[in-house]
């Protein structure tokens, strides 16, 4: 079962868990707490909102400002954005001709089974190189202009080497403690999907079995009055027409879905 919480409720829950001395372990890669019973068995998982810090004590202090980057990458499509306290201040969508149109398979995956082929393959490989150089170029701009506290990423294992081995380097490495994977299926990255991923990251999430419902009720309070999938009014984001026109790449002709 899943229960989503707005930030203020997630902060209260975090305080209650730590104040009660409930056995927990923090998983920084997923920005979540694993909650155990007295015998050390995992009972439930509590993913924290991206804007909520974890210090390990009930007296944790919330940061006045949390700056973060959300990076969504699939074959031929990427959406990346810079956020401050949940608000999107800048974004960019990159598209590239990386997918073999007839087979529907990315050139990277094709090379692993068939090897290099004709001119079309060389074009796709060249587009792939430029695709990741452009992504890393934008990331470098964010890291040069702002202090980044967290980096949320969704990228397949196949594409990770291309991201970190690009001639234009990433401003962070694979082991950066600020880096964590987005535990959510991401559709083809476009601006709207970027905002949807951010909305997901701004909420806390409890993941548990039905047998743990009584524990969840105890931690939250039975009269919390929060629906499981509340569309939080506290979520803020710029609408597309508020962003500079140059931030949106409209090269649709060279983009094919996986």
pLDDT tens digits for 193-202?
999 999 999 9
The SS3 of residue 180 is strand
In a shared domain, residues 165 and 211: no
Give residue 90's domain range. 67-198+238-254
In a shared domain, residues 117 and 77: yes
In a shared domain, residues 124 and 158: yes
Query: Is 227 within the bounds of a domain?
Result: no
In a shared domain, residues 248 and 178: yes
Of 96-100, 150-154, 228-232, which gets the smallest average pLDDT? 228-232
120-124 CB contacts, 8 Å cutoff, 24+ apart? 123/97, 124/97, 124/98, 124/99, 124/100
In a shared domain, residues 108 and 162: yes
pLDDT tens digits for 213-231?
998 998 988 555 555 444 4
**Length of the chain counted residue by residue:** 258
pTM listed for this prediction? 0.77
- Cα–Cα nearest to 204, from 20, 47, 45: 47
In a shared domain, residues 187 and 213: no
Query: Is 233 within the bounds of a domain?
Result: no
CA distance 194 to 224: 30
CATH number of the domain to which 24 belongs: 3.30.310
**Is residue 10 over pLDDT 70?**
yes
């Amino acid at each position: 079962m899943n229960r989503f919480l707005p930030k203020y409720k997630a902060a209260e829950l975090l305080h209650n868990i730590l104040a009660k001395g409930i056995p927990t372990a923090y998983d920084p890669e997923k920005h979540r707490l694993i909650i155990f019973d007295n015998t050390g068995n995992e009972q439930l998982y509590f993913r924290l909102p991206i804007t909520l810090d974890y210090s390990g004590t009930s007296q944790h202090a919330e940061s006045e400002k949390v700056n973060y980057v959300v990076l969504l990458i699939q074959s031929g499509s990427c959406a990346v954005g810079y956020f401050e306290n949940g608000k999107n201040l800048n974004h960019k969508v990159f598209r590239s001709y990386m997918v073999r149109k007839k087979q529907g398979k990315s050139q990277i995956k094709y090379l692993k089974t068939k090897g290099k082929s004709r001119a079309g393959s060389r074009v796709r490989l060249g587009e792939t190189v430029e695709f990741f150089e452009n992504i890393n170029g934008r990331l470098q701009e964010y890291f040069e202009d702002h202090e980044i506290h967290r980096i949320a990423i969704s990228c397949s294992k196949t594409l990770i080497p291309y991201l970190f081995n690009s001639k234009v380097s990433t401003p962070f490495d694979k082991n950066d403690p600020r880096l964590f994977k987005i535990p959510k299926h991401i559709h083809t990255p476009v601006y709207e999907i970027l905002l949807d991923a951010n909305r997901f990251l701004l909420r806390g999430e409890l993941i548990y079995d039905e047998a743990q419902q009584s524990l969840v009720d105890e931690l939250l309070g039975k009269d919390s009055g929060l629906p499981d999938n509340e569309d939080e009014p506290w979520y803020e984001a710029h609408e597309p027409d508020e962003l500079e026109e140059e931030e949106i790449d409209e090269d649709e002709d060279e983009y094919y879905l996986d």
